[in-house]
Amino acid sequence: MSEENKIGVYNFVAEPFHVDFTGRLTMGVLGNHLLNCAGFHATERGFGIATLNEDNYTWVLSRLAIDLNEMPYQYEEFNISTWVENVYRLFTDRNFAIMGKDGKKIGYARSVWAMINLSTRKPADLLALHGGGITDYICKDEPCPIEKPSRIKVSATEPVGKIEAKYSDIDINGHFNSVRYIEHILDLFPLSFYKEKRISRFEMAYVAESYYGDELSFYRDETDEGIYEVEVRKNGNEVVCRSKVIFDNNI
């Protein structure tokens, strides 16, 4: 298979209600676009959610790491390319490159996905699915020069924020929407932060689902200057997800 067919490229524009007060695209919206691109790419190649659901399987996002030199500004066009870097028995690595208005690479992202059986919620063997057809799309030649998702460990014992999961937080599966976690985590930081700094790296590790009415508590460590690790726990102490946010003074 040609290398070109292994990579999907999708065009976007930074819409006015998708940018923050600095005029830059929000991390939540970028995350949404990345996940959509993953879906488009998989669907076009026959291993998208719709096809999988017929066979009673679905993709589950485990990790996401985004590294950026800059965010698209309001009304700017940008594109996202995505490809599969590795397929293991239980996980697959999908990478992304984000290209800004002048055809300049402005960022990269890495993601890790598992596939589960919708009835048993148990992980599926990716190498066995459709005769291992997904491995035909492995693309080793495309660079993704950013670090893999790291291990996040939060030691804070007092939450810095609490929310209750509401209607707008819940997705079609009845789970707390993966993108809304990103927004709620970034809302832990005051506006003044975003005036002086920009996010140079953002990581999410999705651990467990949360549901409507759950009380989510946000615990946060500052592990180094401008480096924050956040853990979200539901209804007491069960970990739902973890995040790492690296702020850069170089705005």
Other CB atoms within a 10 A radius of the CB of residue 19 amount to 19
- Which span sits near its own copies by CB under 8 A: 28-36, 82-90, 114-122, 219-227? 28-36
- Least Cβ distance, residue 208 to its own copies (angstroms): 18
- By CB under 8 A, tell whether 212 contacts its own copies: yes
Taking the least distance from each CB to its own copies, the nearer of 148 and 195 is 195
Among 3, 75, 118, 132, binds its own copies (CB under 8 A): 75
- Which span sits near its own copies by CB under 8 A: 10-18, 84-92, 122-130, 237-245? 10-18
- By CB under 8 A, tell whether 143 contacts its own copies: no
- By CB under 8 A, tell whether 187 contacts its own copies: yes
Contact call for residues 80 and 96 (beta carbons, < 8 A): yes
- By CB under 8 A, tell whether 51 contacts its own copies: no
- By CB under 8 A, tell whether 74 contacts its own copies: yes
User: What distance in Å separates the CA atoms of residue 85 and residue 91, rounded to the nearest whole number?
Assistant: 11
Helix axes 178-186, 27-44, angle to 10 degrees: 160
Tell me the sheet residues that pair with 139: none
Among 4, 141, 151, 172, binds its own copies (CB under 8 A): 172
| Unique residue bearing structure tokens 């990103």 | 182
Direct distance between the N- and C-terminal alpha carbons of the chain, in angstroms, rounded to an integer: 42
Contact call for residues 235 and 215 (beta carbons, < 8 A): yes
Among 1, 50, 160, 251, binds its own copies (CB under 8 A): 50
User: What distance in Å separates the CA atoms of residue 82 and residue 6, rounded to the nearest whole number?
Assistant: 9
